[in-house]
Chains A and B, each alone.
Chain A
């Protein structure tokens, strides 16, 4: 049909502006942050040169990169230690958070009785609890895991609990009408309905488990018992080895970003067919 071709060829000014705008935004989304990042690094380098700042206070970006390369063996083996704690604690946070949420979902009474304890655990700063954990637990890994777990499990617990309780009332009635058992209701209705909430909690918990692992190492590392990235930072701080300190810091940041991206991707893949959050905005 010619009519269709016509509209495809000759956009009115408003539509043309919208198409242009969309194209610009698509490019800008990637180019702008990258450009700002490059600019910031360049400025960092220039400031070091212009003000003749000594390397032990603020190393130039090139030196940091060089250190990252030279100390790769040391830094990456430390990264592995930190990653191990991070992933194990995230795994435990998922198991513990979902497990507790399912338990809470079984009865309002259980939730009412135990949820406040979870909040207490969440709002007490982990750094303040650590000395106690240090007294009670001997095993280094267990110590760190427990700390990271305490930090990471709450978002999963609270989100999953919310999700399990946000089931459409009519769907609940439908299951009741069809004589569904408690288990069937959980398996076929409440767990799938809680999935978007759980994945939201998981994204937060992923970042928190890394933070938890690093903070735990910091506290433990101050006592010279850790070999993770945090202890490298402390060590480098003592020795005024600023380049290595920066290199370790960058590694931690990149790890955090990577964890976030991977979990976002997982979330998108699981929800893309049905959940609003994963759908492309349509005009």
Chain B
């Protein structure tokens, strides 16, 4: 595996306890496609970790493996302590809401499936709705909401069970830039309040650098970890950070690693590493 020079900076959150480690994880689909090959990844408690890479690099597959929606062909996932599915929140690329159910009912759903009644779920649901700035919309149905608001409902639904780890699969890719920036800020705010762990899949260099404490760059064919970048800019990060020279420099670094990752794929059939 190629390790970038810039990528050898040790992770900033080195002291935090390990939450999950992937050891030589591979996934081969029945059609013969190797989606992931020998992926090593250490996720620490409280990390905001982005998986950045071109399409086909297996970043979504990695997320599904972590969620337990799919099982690895080889290697293993080691969770620290016991973790069951209620400790995992998942946000899909699409809002993926129940179109017939109100905003309240959509957020209530994970609790409802665990047998929590409407009345007992009420405080948690309303609290979560206020934290994603949707107070007053609890009776609306999804089609009455904008794309950004639907995504907020989706985040509230994932967070209502207070998961220890939140997995997000390109959640803001379909939104316009202004909405995306706003959601980036609000997500960071939520993360700083609660200090859960986030694994965030994206193909945007700028988004990954703005949000993350660590960016893991992946390469395609076969999907693998190409390098890692610690984003040492302090939180809270706000609009000022978005226009700062530090941010621009970090974006350039991440972009260089990504370009290298893409080139390594293009040349992989003759340099045969």
Contact code string B89-118 (vs A, CB < 8 Å = 1, else 0):
010111010111100000001101110000
Given A173-B69, A192-B98, check contact A279 B113 (CB 8 Å).
Answer: no
- Least Cβ distance of A282 to chain B in Å? 11
| Partner of A177 from B90, B93, B94 at Cβ < 8 Å | B90
Determine the distance from Cα of A174 to Cα of B68 in the docked complex, in whole angstroms: 11
Query: Whose C-beta in chain A lies nearest to the C-beta of B84?
Result: A179
Given A178-B85, A188-B109, check contact A173 B90 (CB 8 Å).
Answer: yes
Determine the distance from Cα of A184 to Cα of B99 in the docked complex, in whole angstroms: 17
Given A274-B143, A275-B99, check contact A178 B109 (CB 8 Å).
Answer: yes
B141 adjacent to chain A (CB < 8 Å): yes
- Least Cβ distance of B82 to chain A in Å? 15
Residues of A within 8 A of B101 (CB): 192
Whether A177 contacts B69 by the Cβ 8 Å rule is yes
Which of A173, A175, A177 has the most CB atoms of chain B within a 10 A radius of its CB? A177
Whether A178 contacts B114 by the Cβ 8 Å rule is yes
Q: Which A146-179 residues sit within 8 Å CB-CB of chain B?
A: 168, 170-171, 173-179
Determine the distance from Cα of A94 to Cα of B68 in the docked complex, in whole angstroms: 38
Given A188-B112, A188-B113, A275-B99, check contact A174 B143 (CB 8 Å).
Answer: no
Residues of B within 8 A of A195 (CB): 100
Determine the distance from Cα of A131 to Cα of B105 in the docked complex, in whole angstroms: 53
| Partner of A274 from B88, B93, B100, B109 at Cβ < 8 Å | B100
Which of A173, A178, A179, A195 has the most CB atoms of chain B within a 10 A radius of its CB? A178
Residues of A within 8 A of B142 (CB): 274
| Partner of B67 from A171, A177, A179, A188 at Cβ < 8 Å | A177
Q: Which A175-210 residues sit within 8 Å CB-CB of chain B?
A: 175-180, 184, 188-189, 192, 195
Whether A189 contacts B85 by the Cβ 8 Å rule is no
Whether B85 contacts A179 by the Cβ 8 Å rule is yes
Residues of A within 8 A of B141 (CB): 273-274
Whether B114 contacts A176 by the Cβ 8 Å rule is no
Query: Whose C-beta in chain A lies nearest to the C-beta of B64?
Result: A173
Residues of A within 8 A of B122 (CB): none
Contact code string A250-273 (vs B, CB < 8 Å = 1, else 0):
000000000000000000000001
Determine the distance from Cα of A177 to Cα of B100 in the docked complex, in whole angstroms: 20
Residues of A within 8 A of B98 (CB): 171, 188-189, 192
Contact code string B123-141 (vs A, CB < 8 Å = 1, else 0):
0000000000000000001
Residues of A within 8 A of B93 (CB): 170
Residues of B within 8 A of A189 (CB): 98
Determine the distance from Cα of A171 to Cα of B85 in the docked complex, in whole angstroms: 16
| Partner of A174 from B86, B96, B112 at Cβ < 8 Å | B96
Q: Which B1-60 residues sit within 8 Å CB-CB of chain A?
A: none
Whether B113 contacts A175 by the Cβ 8 Å rule is yes
Whether B86 contacts A170 by the Cβ 8 Å rule is no
Residues of B within 8 A of A175 (CB): 113
Determine the distance from Cα of A223 to Cα of B99 in the docked complex, in whole angstroms: 52
- Least Cβ distance of A278 to chain B in Å? 11
| Partner of B100 from A173, A174, A192 at Cβ < 8 Å | A192
Q: Which A67-109 residues sit within 8 Å CB-CB of chain B?
A: none
Whether A179 contacts B113 by the Cβ 8 Å rule is yes
Determine the distance from Cα of A180 to Cα of B85 in the docked complex, in whole angstroms: 11
Whether A177 contacts B88 by the Cβ 8 Å rule is yes
Whether B100 contacts A178 by the Cβ 8 Å rule is no
Residues of A within 8 A of B112 (CB): 188
Given A170-B92, A171-B96, A274-B100, check contact A180 B143 (CB 8 Å).
Answer: no
Residues of B within 8 A of A177 (CB): 67-69, 85, 88, 90
Query: Whose C-beta in chain B lies nearest to the C-beta of A175?
Result: B113
Whether A170 contacts B114 by the Cβ 8 Å rule is no
- Least Cβ distance of A232 to chain B in Å? 44
Whether A176 contacts B69 by the Cβ 8 Å rule is yes
- Least Cβ distance of A24 to chain B in Å? 30
- Least Cβ distance of B228 to chain A in Å? 27
- Least Cβ distance of A204 to chain B in Å? 22
Whether A170 contacts B94 by the Cβ 8 Å rule is yes
Determine the distance from Cα of A189 to Cα of B68 in the docked complex, in whole angstroms: 21
12 contacts between A and B (CB under 8 A): A168-B96, A171-B98, A174-B90, A174-B96, A174-B109, A177-B85, A178-B161, A179-B86, A188-B113, A273-B100, A273-B141, A274-B99
Supplied contacts A170-B92, A195-B100, 11 more A-B pairs, CB within 8 Å: A170-B94, A174-B96, A175-B113, A176-B69, A177-B67, A188-B109, A192-B100, A273-B100, A273-B143, A274-B100, A274-B141
Enumerate chain B interface residues (CB-CB to A < 8 A).
67-69, 85-86, 88, 90, 92-94, 96, 98-101, 109-110, 112-114, 141-143, 161
**Which A-B residue pairs are the 4 nearest by beta carbons?**
A170-B96, A170-B92, A178-B113, A274-B99
